[in-house]
Amino acid sequence: MVDRLVNSEANARRIATVENCFGANGQPLAIPGRVLVGEGVVTKMCRKKPKTRQFYLFNDILVYGNIVMDKKKFNKQHIIPLEEVKLENLEDDGILKNGWLIRTPTKSFAVYAATATEKTEWMAHINKCVEELLKKTGKKPSLEHAAVWIPDAEASICMHCRKTQFTVLNRRHHCRKCGAVVCNPCSSKKFLLPAQSSKPLRVCLSCYDTLTKARANQGDSPVKPAEKSVNQDSSGEDDSEDEVEETGKADDPIKDMDNLSIDEKPTFYGDTTEPATEVNHPTSCDTSACNAGTDFSVCDAVSSNDATTCRADANE
Ligand SMILES: [Zn+2]
Ligand SMILES: [Zn+2]
């Protein structure tokens, strides 16, 4: 179903629109064979709190960014290769509903859709794209995935020593192996986690133990020079990407979750299993042979591979 969108003008136009929305903040996205499969607003669990993010699902990458102006301007573009993606279902937990994990070797995080239906749609479309991409490239799915970071607000004390109370001075750190929120002394060691980085990363003392033992069993040298202690004046290396810039007050995550307004349903293109009215059609049919006129509820903007069989025509 995605295949017939390849080379279609509608697809090219949608991708150009996405590029425009990111402007100079984004990468060029139009490459041969790439199809925009769907788009929509999803709530991403960030380090401090849940935040709305614009997501674009292509047949080979997942792109998301911060919403500067709804439907018009986005920044902080992130591009995730789909062949590295593995989804995991999340059970509803209080106000955190309709969620799932997006896991990759370098970064894993939780996202939440507005409704159970939207969650099902997103997961099904992403999984299908991953599956088809792996089939096409012959690659194997990634087995090792980065830990999902536990949000700061869930730990007022260190999850390792259970003593250190976090304050402005006693900053929170995240173990890159298990995602736990720990204090500086409890995460003073680094360990090489090749799937995530070429440099050794901060890990908690429990993980350091486990990792060191595992390596000893593999017969490697016990201590590599790179795995020295973390500098005491860790200068913000702990903060990752879009979680960094927010230096404002510690908002109440519960309150923010309630205030999120995701009234727009996600849109998936060329999906014949969806009612035609759910598809966001362009202002005119792409196909020169199309007789659908302005009745885009029947026109499906067919690909140029088969320009004479617009669905509107085929249905007559
Ligand atoms: Zn501690
Ligand atoms: Zn750990």
**pLDDT, tens digit (0-9, with 9 covering 90-100), for 219-234:** 755 444 444 455 433 3
Of 49-58, 166-175, 201-210, 241-250, least confident by mean pLDDT is 241-250
C-alpha 185 to ligand 1 mean position (Å): 6
C-alpha 246 to ligand 1 mean position (Å): 24
pLDDT at 271: 60
C-alpha 208 to ligand 2 mean position (Å): 7
**pLDDT, tens digit (0-9, with 9 covering 90-100), for 181-217:** 999 999 999 999 999 999 999 999 999 999 999 999 8
C-alpha 204 to ligand 2 mean position (Å): 4
* CA–CA separation, 197 and 128 (whole Å): 28
C-alpha 190 to ligand 1 mean position (Å): 15
Percent of the chain topping pLDDT 70: 71
* CA–CA separation, 153 and 45 (whole Å): 11
C-alpha 167 to ligand 1 mean position (Å): 13
pLDDT at 280: 45
pTM of the model: 0.74
CB distance 245 to 236 below 8 Å: no
